[in-house]
Structure 1
């Protein structure tokens, strides 16, 4: 999708936006049931957002994957009116997490500037970081990604949800991204339950006033995550 269409959408639909970046591990160890369940979860997330009249016009979803040998932008930030269907994810390769987070933050900064240029308000952006392993990309990129994320979180410009998948997820690295909230470990392969919770949280946010402090459904997290990591 070209940038002109996405900019025109801000003029035609000036609804305040909820930017959500899904930064997803699709390395080789995600092959089999994990990648199938992840695909089903993302599909459920899209469908739930589309079924909510307010969120359908407010939510903008970007998906950045890390697998193979590099990070890939599968979808840039845009409403589900413009890109109604999620990409199909397949697993292979390494875990260049730092590269992916930096790409997601770059896409977010660019989209935020487009919001400002168009006079469209937006809610505090969300970054969902999901991984089942240990980052093995460029260590300098990982360090820069952590520093950028922490600065944004500390200045209330980003909300991050770091989520480990399986017993081999590096929870210590995920914790470095999140100075205010401990990382969570997914219960088994409960991707659908997580994305159901996420869609409800996005819907709640879209019905609030930008800048308002939204209380997350902490109790609902127990349905998909182990709170003790």
Structure 2
């Protein structure tokens, strides 16, 4: 699969630090990664899942940075993990500061330290944090930098079901699903959810809708990361991602 087949060819340099142009719209992508204890137990091609994920991230990140000098030049990422250590911002300077961009980093400079698996699955808390951060950042860029912004995209990856901080099952995802539906109805956000084996399909469909949820048959982390990159494109919709996931079976 070529994850860039849907991108237009554009090699202009990004506005990485200074907001000096209004010719492009700043866009915000929140990537939420499940790093709960199951990622330390599950294997992918004979390798512990979290180790396989770190290996694939090392391959994937240079590609993201390269695309950040072209098709993704206007994208700022915030990466949030939920699992080991609870909910953590692992992008930017690692602090949940949206106004000065502390949690955010341009695609051309995205770096991530190796991820660690363990703990519960506080998915709801992670999504709520991401929603808050992208909304704060959007308002800041519009008011302080007077720059247009595109609709934020949330990309959720999980292999389990939401729990509270102690690992107990929770139904807190139900009110979150209603809140997400309100955001969608006003065009303020689009959520792409990728479920790998072990995920709770009901929860993922409720959060992302049937259109925005993409269950994967196996734990192919390389394919997953390539699909995430496709989903960051401003001009890619659910149907195009679905065709990348399922190929001719979709049609």
Give the total of aligned pairs: 210
Q: Does 1:142 align with 2:173?
A: yes
Give the RMSD, CA atoms, in angstroms. Answer: 2.8
Alignment-derived partner of residue 45 in structure 2: none
Q: 1:158 aligns with which of 189, 212, 232?
A: 189
CA distance in 2, matches of 1:17, 1:39: 28
Pair 1:54–1:170, CA change in 2 (3 A):
same
The answer to whether the Cα contact below 8 Å between 1:26 and 1:89 also exists between their aligned partners in 2 is yes
2-side partners of 1:56 and 1:178: how far apart? 23
- Alignment of 1:119 with 2:146, yes or no, is yes
- 1:18 Cα deviation from its structure 2 partner: 2.5
TM-score, normalised by the number of residues in structure 1? 0.78
Q: Deviations over 1:187-209 (max 9, x none)?
A: 3222211222332443x42xx6x
Aligned match for 2:37, one of 28, 40, 64: 28
C-alpha distance after superposition, 1:30-66 (max 9, x if no partner)? 1152212333444444322222232352121111111
Structure 1: how far apart are the matches of 2:88 and 2:59? 22
Within 1, Cα distance between the matches of 2:77 and 2:57?
11
Q: Does 1 or 2 have the higher relative contact order (CA < 8 Å, sep 6+)?
A: 1
Given that 1:130 and 1:163 are in contact with CA atoms closer than 8 Å, whether structure 2 keeps it comes out as yes
Change (3 A) 1:113 1:41: farther
Unaligned runs of 5+ in 1: 1-7
Contact 2:74 2:106 in 1 (8 A): yes
SS in 2 for 1:9: coil
Deviation string, structure 1 residues 116-155 (Cα, Å, up to 9, x no partner): 1112222221111111111111747534432222211222
CA contact 1:23–1:100 (8 Å) conserved in 2? yes
Larger helix percent: 1
Cα offset for 1:26? 0.4
- Aligned pair 1:66/2:82, yes or no? yes
Larger radius of gyration: 2
- 2: distance between equivalents of 1:201 and 1:97? 20
Separation (CA, whole Å) in 1 of partners of 2:212 and 2:134: 23
TM-score (norm 2): 0.72
Inter-CA distance 133–84: structure 2 relative to 1 (3 Å threshold):
closer
SS at match of 1:181: helix
